[in-house]
Amino acid sequence: MQIIHHLADMTRWSNEVIAGGKALALVPTMGYFHAGHLSLMRQAGRLADHVVVSLFVNSLQFGPREDLSRYPRDLQRDARLAENEKVDILFVPTSEEMYAPDFNTRVRVNGITDTLCGQQRPTHFEGVTTVVAKLFNIIKPHCAVFGQKDFQQLSVIRKMVRELNWDIEIFAHPIVREEDGLAMSSRNTYLSSEERSKALCLNKAIQHAKARFADGLDDSDLLISEIRDIISANSGVNIDYISVVDKDTLSDKEVIDSQSVLALAIKVGGTRLIDNCFMGSDSQISN
């Protein structure tokens, strides 16, 4: 595996691969890899001849009072894990190269960024789409793999790719969970043992929702009320949102059907966690 820091070197390598007729897959990350990231890398390896993993803690997607400064970082550890997954390139650009002092361009997808996480983090998705657009232009992948845990991000990226006519296929990887059901996240490292135990209310809520839908419940207001009770039973856990939305438009749904997604966001102590489930089949959300 090769580690590349400079944009010009990354583009030069990609151009050589593409000129040789080989397919290239990208896995964009902010690093501090866990088993979920490694699973994305393995999927990318099945999709293309070469895999590039980008590692960049993107300042544009953090708000002024968010966790940019304390976001976990360990390049040496990440490089070892990526190399074990047969990644070809670990692309680790500097902020100075990605965003020059006079950088003043943003890529914004309107509409679906105004709901769910976008309500509490109004500049977040603009930062995501801007950095992903830059990565697509620098690396020129044939496909890219994103995790389903960031479901809204996945929908936003797909819309951006479609509307800007990029010939890049976007693949979603199902949520990877710990043995106790907690969705894997680099931010889980912030949680104390007590907070981590309380965070399991997310998976408990998801399992409840799936069971109720399987039993025939289709009233989203009733389901949301039941889930609110499950989560609120945990002291120190604050609800950001509980929503049942359409998987494509992210608009609220009054009647739950197989095209609905349950989306959850909470704060446990000072840590914000998200989770979701497809009310039909998880495989449908991944294709």
**Model pLDDT, residue 246:** 96
Average pLDDT over residues 87-97: 98
Residue 287: pLDDT band with limits 50, 70, 90: very low
Average pLDDT over residues 183-193: 96
Active-site residue identified among 37, 50, 124, 142: 37
Answer whether residue 89 shows pLDDT above 80: yes
Answer whether residue 65 shows pLDDT above 90: no
Reported as a single tens digit per residue, the pLDDT across 10-40 is 999 999 999 999 999 999 999 999 999 999 9
Q: CA torsion 179→120→74→201, rounded to 10°?
A: -20
* Percent of the residues in the chain that have a pLDDT greater than 90, as a whole number: 96
Answer whether residue 7 shows pLDDT above 60: yes
Answer whether residue 283 shows pLDDT above 80: no
pTM of the model: 0.95
Answer whether residue 280 shows pLDDT above 90: no
Q: Which domains does the chain have, with CATH numbers?
A: 2-173 (3.40.50.620), 186-285 (3.30.1300.10)
Average pLDDT over residues 185-196: 96
Reported as a single tens digit per residue, the pLDDT across 206-258 is 999 999 999 999 999 999 999 999 999 999 999 999 999 999 999 999 999 99
Extract the tokens encoding 131.
Answer: 């950095």
* Spatial distance between the Cα atoms of 121 and 156, rounded to a whole number of angstroms: 14
**Model pLDDT, residue 285:** 52
**Model pLDDT, residue 31:** 97
Average pLDDT over residues 165-169: 98
Q: How many CB atoms lie within 10 A of CB 101?
A: 6
* Spatial distance between the Cα atoms of 74 and 72, rounded to a whole number of angstroms: 7
Answer whether residue 282 shows pLDDT above 90: no
Is-catalytic flag, 50?
no
What is the rounded average pLDDT for all residues in the chain?
96
Q: CA torsion 127→131→132→137, rounded to 10°?
A: 150
Q: 222's torsion region: left (phi>0), alpha (psi -120 to 50) or beta?
A: alpha
